[in-house]
Structure 1
């Protein structure tokens, strides 16, 4: 006999948050948000990938910590993406280890270059900062391309629109970029005087 006071039972869907193994987003959105947020978008990017893997694969990981300390977990994330891509007979991503290493080296190099006092003239350290900012974006672009393919959404159309939150962060980023450009112009105007 059924207990009328018992709460209804339902099957729990453990994969409700992510039916795909990886975070899907368009590469255009990735590039715009990465540049607009001066690279801070990568924290969110790593978090979303690890969260999707945690849910899809049942991994016992802490996505927040893997995002904050991404340089220690980039190789394993890129390997997951490469393995999934290959398991689905989509081809191989043979450069995944090199891309992960490049990401780590450029991220660490960028942090070091940012702490070296700048000279009054645009020079080697300024170029190093620029390079160490662009190359990590390229590696994430490559990883996202393969992740989207593994998710059966090669163009990332399911997450290609900019949400209100995305637009807010883009606007804040543009304000910061404006301050940076004004600071550089002020510095060079002072040098020329």
Structure 2
């Protein structure tokens, strides 16, 4: 017992306490890790509504890892307005960990915000076929921006493929089915407009 106690006690009683300052994996995972495939499927299937959940989980993980006072639910509801802040927080976290990763967060945030604004102006287009075509193009561009951000998050978490969250859960499947019903409704409205 004395040997063990002596091992825990510092040799110099006046030295400052020593702590292990290495970052554990739990600190690196300050954001929501998900595979690119799962992100793309859920984003497109839900017509972009998955972005609110994705944003919520990122802000929730960020708050838990950093103790920064943010309200994830508010930031999720107004996710487009907090996109720039989220992407910058991810970039700052990558820089703080000592990693070097080029992914242009400002450009991606501004592009994503612009695409969301363009998507909301789509309601003024009276031609349903053109509106659906624009929606598909905008969703494709938005998901490509988010996939680039997700690659940075997965890089930060040392899980480049997002393997820890790559399978679709039953709730994911429920959202996919609901989204496909919505897609079916849109398609039937367009086909009804053609005849």
User: Structure 2 length normalisation: TM-score?
Assistant: 0.79
Structure 1 window deviating more from structure 2 (53-62 vs 75-84): it is 75-84
Residues 94, 164 of structure 1: CA spacing in aligned structure 2 closer, same or farther, 3 A cutoff?
closer
Structure 1 position 105 matched with structure 2 position 114 = yes
2:81 is paired with a residue whose SS is helix
The equivalent residue for 1:178 is: 184
**Change in CA separation of 1:94 and 1:34 when aligned onto 2, cut-off 3 Å:** closer
For 2:103 and 2:48, how far apart are their aligned partners in 1?
A: 26
Report the secondary structure of 1:154's partner residue: coil
Counterpart in the other structure of 1:25:
34
Counterpart of 1:87?
A: 96
Could you tell me which runs of 5 or more consecutive residues in structure 2 were left unpaired when the two chains were aligned: 1-25
User: In the alignment, which residue of structure 2 is the partner of 1:156?
Assistant: 162
Task: Could you list the structure 1 runs, at least 4 aligned residues long, displaced by more than 6 angstroms after superposition.
Answer: none
Q: 2:64 aligns with which of 55, 63, 82?
A: 55
Q: Is the 8 A contact 1:118 1:126 kept in 2?
A: no
Which one is further off, 168-177 or 50-59?
A: 168-177
CA contact (8 A) 1:23 1:52 kept: yes
Match of 2:78 in 1: 69
* Aligned-partner SS, 1:72: coil
State the alpha-carbon separation in 1 of the partners of residues 75 and 162 from structure 2.
23
Q: Give the total of aligned pairs.
A: 169
Aligned to 2:124: 116
**Structure with max Cα Rg:** 2
| Contact residue 26 and residue 156 of structure 1 kept, 8 A | yes
C-alpha distance in 1 between matches for 2:171 and 2:103: 35
Task: Write the deviation string for residues 22-50 of structure 1: whole angstroms up to 9, x where unpaired.
Answer: 00110100001011111100000000000
Counterpart-to-counterpart distance in 1, 2:93 and 2:107: 17
Structure 1: gaps (5+ residues): 1-17
> Does the residue aligned with 2:68 lie in a helix, a strand or coil?
coil
Tell me how large the CA RMSD over aligned residues is: 1.8
